[in-house]
Amino acid sequence: MSHWYDRDGSPRYEVTSKSGSLRDANLRDARKHGWVPSVSTVWKDTVASAGLNRYYQEQLFDAIVSHNQQWEEDDESYKRRMFAISREAALKSAERGTYIHGLLEQQMLTGSCNTEDPNEQEIVRATMDKLNEICGDQDWKVEHSFAHHIGYGGKIDAHSDQWVVDFKTKEMVEGAKPDLYDAYGVQLAAYNHGIGGGRKLLNVFISVSSPGYVVTHEWEERERLFSMFEAALKLWQLTKRYDPTWQA
């Protein structure tokens, strides 16, 4: 699903259909209203993601290994069933990530989170401890959305005057190092530019399989990473034949 923002930075993820129900906003809606695409929308539409492609391949492989073809099931039906199972697993993983993000947002806004699950409490505690260890005392803003006049927007997990932070939940055994992809740094660099620049870029990788295990990575080369995003943004605008820029 593509994400869009109006020029005030307000999310415009859904619109009301002719029947009165809500549906996902699309490029046609963006053209009509002058909305800008999110950083992730620009990147996924223009640049192949090695990490994401590998993840989907692993989900499909796990589905095939775990589910045998039935004797009455032809090859095409079996293939469709495996793709459906792998998509469901990916969706559950995304929903889990969204849920953990919500707990972290509660913690950063109120000082507590609404969960009695000890594993979830440990995930939140360890994440906040690691953030304090790396960044020190900060006046955090969470889930802040923005739009920039060169034609893109986004919603940032957390940022302060010194840092831009993106949380990523992953299956990681304790001691393992997460795979790092330029796309992670590009996302942070685009966020940083979108809210004025000058901040450090930090990914926080949170294990959901080993609660309490958290790894961070600070990205250097902000200019290179943002230049990569600028190139993708220009390609996106040319490919989509849509240029939502405006005069600042």
pLDDT tens across 172-217, in order?
999 999 999 999 999 999 999 999 999 999 999 999 999 999 999 9
Separation of alpha carbons 217 and 42, rounded Å:
23
144 part of a folded domain: yes
Q: Is the pLDDT at 97 greater than 90, yes or no? A: no
- Paired with 214 in beta bridges are 206
Separation of alpha carbons 184 and 225, rounded Å:
9
Whether 120 and 103 have beta carbons less than 8 Å apart is answered as yes
Q: How many domains does the chain have?
A: 1
Q: Is the pLDDT at 89 greater than 90, yes or no? A: no
Mean pLDDT rounded to a whole number for the chain: 93
127 part of a folded domain: yes
225 part of a folded domain: yes
pTM attached to this predicted model: 0.87
21 part of a folded domain: yes
**pLDDT tier, 85 (very low <50, low <70, confident <90, very high otherwise):** confident
pLDDT for 38 equals 98
In 3D space, the residue among 116, 126, 105, 113 whose CA is nearest the CA of residue 172 turns out to be: 126
**Which DSSP string do the residues of 173-215 spell out, in sequence order?**
-TT------HHHHHHHHHHHHHTTS--EEEEEEEESSSTT-EE
pLDDT for 57 equals 84
82 part of a folded domain: no
Q: Is the pLDDT at 82 greater than 90, yes or no? A: no
Q: What is the pLDDT of residues 22-44, one digit of tens each?
A: 999 999 999 999 999 999 999 99
Domain that holds residue 133: 4-52+117-240
For range 156-184, the mean pLDDT = 94
CA angle 56, 176, 54 (to 5 degrees): 15
CA 187 to chain centre: 9
57 part of a folded domain: no
In 3D space, the residue among 151, 163, 157 whose CA is nearest the CA of residue 243 turns out to be: 151
Tokens (6 digits) for 201: 């870029």
pLDDT for 131 equals 96
Q: Which residue has the higher pLDDT, 9 or 116?
A: 9
Q: Any idea what the CATH number is for the domain that residue 147 is in? A: 3.90.320
Separation of alpha carbons 241 and 110, rounded Å:
44
pLDDT for 88 equals 84
CA angle 46, 184, 106 (to 5 degrees): 120
- Beta carbons within 10 angstroms of residue 185's beta carbon: 24
Phi, psi torsion values for 227, nearest 5 degrees: -60, -35
Separation of alpha carbons 202 and 5, rounded Å:
24
Separation of alpha carbons 234 and 143, rounded Å:
26
Separation of alpha carbons 217 and 213, rounded Å:
14
Q: Is the dihedral of CA 5, 11, 13, 15 positive or negative?
A: negative
Tokens (6 digits) for 51: 């990490």
58 part of a folded domain: no
Whether 2 and 38 have beta carbons less than 8 Å apart is answered as yes
pLDDT for 117 equals 92
For range 98-124, the mean pLDDT = 93
